Amino acid sequence: MSWIREGELNLIEKISANILKAGPMPKHVAFIMDGNRRFARKKQMERQEGHMQGFNKLAETLRWCKHLNIQEVTVYAFSIENFKRSQNEVDGLMVLAKQKFEKLLEERENLEKHGVCIRVLGDLNMLPLDLQQLIAKAVVSTKTHNKCFLNVCFAYTSRYEITNAVREMAWGVEQGQIKTSDVSEALLSECLYSNNSPNPDLLIRTSGEVRLSDFLLWQTSHSCLVFQSVLWPEYSFWNLCEAILQYQLNHTSIQKARDLHQEHQAFVQLEADRACVAEHLQHHGNGKPADARRRQEALQHYATCREERIHDFLEALQNRRDSYYTDLLSNAVVA
């Protein structure tokens, strides 16, 4: 089954999509694709077949998103917690993932045609080496595409992601690239696996469960959350439309909350900068209080230096992440 489904919506779907698109549309939708195993039990089939049907539904859902002008999709494909399942099921999921990434690499021309960029978020070191190498090929071969984005969370939990981001900032401090005073909520966001993406506008979970299961906890604090009872392999275009309608009904309050949070972040950063400048002037001012002009000049200089430090640190961090993929590809060629 192809990752990129061709085909148009039927007439009723087109009319409904056009009506929806007259209102505010989510640009980034995240899915917790829950219910594959229950679907398999319901249909009296093997678990692996349930997971296969779940992947087929993802391909179909991506087609719907394309027609609805949803430019970015993030999916919870495999949680770190899933490693606790039976070894047989975990092995089966790894084989399925390998098959699907091999299929993706066969479709590179189609991905280029549609401008699809594939990103994989998680600790890939937890995966078999051959699967890591396939993922690296998929990520590197599509990284310049920029029409739409598919983020696959694999070997992922949000708490692990946040913990890793803290480690990244600690590494930056140890390397002398940033100061402890540079650490902030905004910087942590830039150190997450999802740093290249805007936060989701809409998060959808299927199967009737009403919890996030450690998925995008940081990124969805100002997102519309929709919980639907349908099992993921049975998800329909109309289920997606229902979720988008929920987003539209709540769009104004969500946007207001985001704007207020952004203003608060800017205020907190300004106060932190002022505190650092005041401490510096106190230690280097020969006991004389600085006038307003000198304080303002010092504040602007400090903010500029902080932004340069953070820019250089994030560039070094991105280079380190990129080298992980290039090393994997180099080792694959040698092997």
pLDDT tens, residue by residue, 178-225 = 999 999 999 999 999 999 999 999 999 999 999 999 999 999 999 999
Inter-CA distances, 135 with 27, 85, 100, 121, 127, Å: 25, 22, 10, 10, 10
Q: Does residue 335 register a pLDDT over 70? A: no
* Joined tokens for residue 310: 């953070």
The confidence score (pLDDT) of residue 271 equals: 96
pTM strictly above 0.85? yes
Task: Provide the 10 A C-beta neighbour count for residue 20.
Answer: 18
**Which residue did the predictor score with more confidence, 70 or 281?**
70
Where residue 279 falls among pLDDT bands split at 50, 70, 90? confident
Average pLDDT over residues 231-244: 97
The confidence score (pLDDT) of residue 2 equals: 64
Average pLDDT over residues 266-282: 92
Inter-CA distances, 305 with 62, 177, 230, 277, 301, Å: 42, 12, 52, 12, 6
The strands making up 28-32's β-sheet, listed across from edge to edge, are: 116-121, 148-156, 72-79, 28-32, 202-205, 224-227
